[in-house]
């Protein structure tokens, strides 16, 4: 039985995933961390039966519960502190937060590799999104141009999304489309109209009420285009990836980045 603490339990993701984890027989939710609803029973907060576990307002309180694993659904600023706390206390942590900078990830990796706990950072728990990224990497070598459009709800704090950046990295590992954001004959009449630029790929971020999480990767070559699109319509779509990560954490290295590391992408066994 794996004893789990949820960090950021009162957020949209934290609440949705906790409700599903409470149904599992091989894990136990022993507590949650948040700045609101402290002291409240987790089950009653979620509108279900009392769970016997509470929401706490400090990580020190969580440490007293002796968790095997923490799952972080906070934000990039708080999450960095959560990761340091987990490593310092030899607690494994799965991080569903996005918005980390490359140098921050490098520091996390270095610290994790010299510690006893495992850090598993997952920019997107959706298995469909992982397949979208892998298919994009396959398609890249057959086309001459590529751009990414990522669409999210208007409360998302980071742009571009972690998924879009990871997609660009995976494409870049196969093919670099261009080394500069603007072509030699291009001119922006409004600055930024060609979007962001990462790993040779333009990325365009939309933030609209009514959306959840969506991404299109559009490839072009002579006489044809190819669009690979993934749509997340409900936060529960992330749950299969979360429970997969929970059950795989014990077999991982000290630092792992991306759900693709534990998915049998090619169908022949990991």
Same domain, 206 and 76: no
21, 105: one domain: yes
Structure tokens, 207: 């933030």
What residue numbers bound the domain in which 12 lies? Answer: 2-121+235-262
Beta carbons within 10 angstroms of residue 57's beta carbon:
14
Task: Return the sign of the alpha-carbon dihedral for residues 156, 102, 174, 198.
Answer: positive
Question: Is 152 considered catalytic here?
Answer: yes
Q: Is residue 156 part of a domain?
A: yes
Q: Is the model's pLDDT at 64 over the cut of 50? A: yes
Please indicate, yes or no, if residue 269 is contained in any of the structural domains: no
Mark whether 90 and 141 lie in a shared domain: no
Q: Evaluate whether residue 28 is within a structural domain.
A: yes
pLDDT of the residue at 265: 73
Note whether 100 and 148 are same-domain residues.
Answer: no
Q: Which of 152, 202, 204, 230 is catalytic?
A: 152
Question: What's the domain count of the chain?
Answer: 2
Among residues 2, 63, 156, 175, the one annotated as catalytic is: 156
Q: Given pLDDT bands bounded at 50, 70 and 90, which one contains residue 76?
A: confident
Both 157 and 50 in a single domain?
Answer: no
Q: Are strands 201-207 and 196-198 parallel, antiparallel or unpaired?
A: antiparallel
Q: What is the CATH number of the domain that holds 164?
A: 3.30.360.10
Q: Note whether 152 and 181 are same-domain residues.
A: yes
Residues 121-150: tens digit of each pLDDT: 998 999 999 999 999 999 999 999 999 999
When pLDDT is cut at 50, 70 and 90, the band that residue 98 belongs to is confident
Give 270's pLDDT tier (boundaries 50, 70, 90).
Answer: very low
CATH number at residue 8: 3.40.50.720
Tally the C-alpha atoms within 13 A of residue 124's C-alpha that lie toward its C-beta: 26
Residues 56 and 93 in one domain: yes
Residue 219 belongs to a domain? yes
- In terms of domains, do 85 and 172 share one? no
Instruction: Answer yes or no: do 104 and 183 share one domain.
Output: no
Give the pLDDT band of residue 175 (cuts 50, 70, 90): very high
Contact criterion met (CB below 8 Å) for 65 and 73: no
Same domain, 150 and 198: yes
Q: Tell me: do 6 and 102 sit in the same domain.
A: yes
**Is 270 part of a structural domain of the chain?**
no
User: Does 261 qualify as catalytic in the annotation?
Assistant: no
Residues 163 and 207 in one domain: yes
Over the chain, what is the mean pLDDT? 95
Within-domain flag for 268: no
In tens, the pLDDT along 217-261 reads: 999 999 999 999 999 999 999 999 999 999 999 999 999 999 999
153 close to 209: Cβ distance less than 8 angstroms: yes
Residue 70 and residue 86 in contact, taking contact as beta carbons nearer than 8 Å? yes
CA distance 234 to 178: 35
């Amino acid at each position: 039985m794996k004893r789990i603490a949820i960090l950021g339990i009162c957020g949209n993701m934290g609440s949705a995933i906790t409700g599903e984890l409470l149904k599992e027989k091989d894990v136990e939710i022993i507590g949650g961390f948040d700045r609101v609803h402290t002291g409240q029973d987790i089950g009653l907060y979620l509108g279900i039966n009392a769970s016997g576990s509470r929401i706490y307002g400090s990580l020190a309180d969580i440490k007293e519960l002796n968790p095997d694993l923490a799952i972080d659904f906070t934000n990039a600023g708080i999450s960095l502190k959560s990761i340091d706390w987990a490593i310092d206390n030899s607690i494994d942590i799965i991080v569903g937060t996005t918005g980390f900078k490359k140098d921050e990830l490098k520091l996390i990796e270095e610290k994790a590799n010299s510690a006893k706990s495992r850090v598993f950072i997952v920019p997107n728990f959706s298995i469909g999104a992982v397949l979208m990224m892998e298919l994009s990497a396959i398609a890249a070598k057959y086309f001459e141009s590529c751009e990414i459009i990522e669409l999210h709800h208007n409360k998302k704090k980071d742009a571009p999304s972690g998924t879009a950046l990871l997609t660009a990295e995976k494409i870049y590992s196969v093919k670099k489309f261009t080394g500069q954001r603007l072509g030699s004959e291009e001119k922006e009449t409004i600055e930024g109209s060609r979007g962001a630029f990462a790993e040779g790929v333009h990325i365009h971020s939309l933030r609209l009420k009514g959306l959840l999480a969506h991404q299109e990767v559009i490839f072009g070559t002579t006489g044809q285009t190819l669009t690979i699109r993934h749509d997340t319509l409900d936060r529960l779509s992330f749950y299969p990836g979360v429970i997969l990560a929970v059950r795989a954490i014990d077999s991982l290295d000290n630092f792992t980045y991306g759900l693709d590391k534990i998915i049998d992408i090619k169908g022949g066994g990991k």
